[in-house]
Amino acid sequence: MSRRNSAARPRPKLPVEESVLRIIGGEWRSRKIPFPAIEGLRPTPDRVRETLFNWLQAYTAGSNCLDLFCGSGALGLEALSRGAQHVTFVDQAPEVVNQLKSNLQLLKAQNAEVIAASAMSWLEQRVTDEEARYDLVFLDPPFRKQLIEKVAILLESRNLLRDGSLIYLETEAEWVPQGILQHWELLREKTAGQVVSRLYRYNPPQLPETPSP
C-alpha cells in the first residue's frame, strides 16, 4: 500500500479578480479599463466623477495633479483624459500599482508617474520648498482612519500646494471638517448616499509686508 506524501504542496496562485472602470470624458471618453477587485477599493462612481469634473472644467487642462490614495486611479486618469499636463499617482497596494502602470501603457499615457508607497510616508519624505507643487489634488483616503488632517498638514508644511490650488476631498458622511483646514476655502459640496464630495481652494496665509527702511 503506497503512502501519500504528507508534505503540503504549494497551491497555485489564483489570478486577482478584476472589475472595470469607465472613463467619463475627454480623449479617452467611454474607454473601459480593468482594476483589481480587492477589499476596500472603491473607485469614485461615474456620477460623482462627472459632477467633479464639471466643477473642474476650467482648471483641469494643463494642470499638475496629485492623486493620493489613488486606488483604481479613476480621478487621475479622468484628469489626464481631459488634458492635465501631468499626474502623480500614489498608492501602496502592489496589485493596484501594477494594474495602474499597465493601464497607463494601454492608454499610451506618457505624462504620468506611479509611486508605490503609502500616501503618508511619501508626503513625510517630501523636502519643503524643493518639490513640484500641484494645481489639483485628489484625496480619497480610507474612511474612518483620521488621515485627512494629517495629510492637510503635510501638504501645507511641505509647500506642495500653490496659492489657489484646488483640492477634491471624498469622505464618509459623518466626517466633520476640523480647524486645520482653515486655509481651505470650501467651494462646492455634494452628498451621495454615505459619501460626501467637497472641493476646496487653498488660500495660504499672507505674510505681512516688510516695511521699507
Neighbours of 143 (CB within 10 A): 16
Residue 118: how many other CB atoms lie within 10 Å: 15
The domain spans of the chain are 18-202
CA distance 47 to 63: 22
The answer to whether residues 36 and 99 touch, using CB atoms and an 8 Å cutoff, is yes
Grid coordinates standing for 50?
Answer: 462627472
Second CATH level (architecture) for the domain 18-202? 3-Layer(aba) Sandwich (3.40)
**Which SS3 state, helix, strand or coil, does residue 53 take?**
helix
The whole-model pTM stands at 0.86
Q: Is 116 exposed, middle or buried (0-12, 13-18, 19+ CB in 10 A)?
A: middle
User: Tens-of-pLDDT digits for all 213 residues of the chain?
Assistant: 333 343 444 444 434 456 888 999 999 999 999 887 776 667 788 889 999 999 999 999 999 999 999 988 999 999 999 999 999 999 999 999 999 999 999 999 999 999 999 999 999 999 999 999 999 999 999 888 889 999 999 999 999 999 999 999 999 999 988 777 889 999 999 998 888 999 999 998 775 555 555
Identify whether the C-beta of residue 187 lies closer than 8 Å to the C-beta of residue 55.
yes
d(CA 180, CA 165): 16
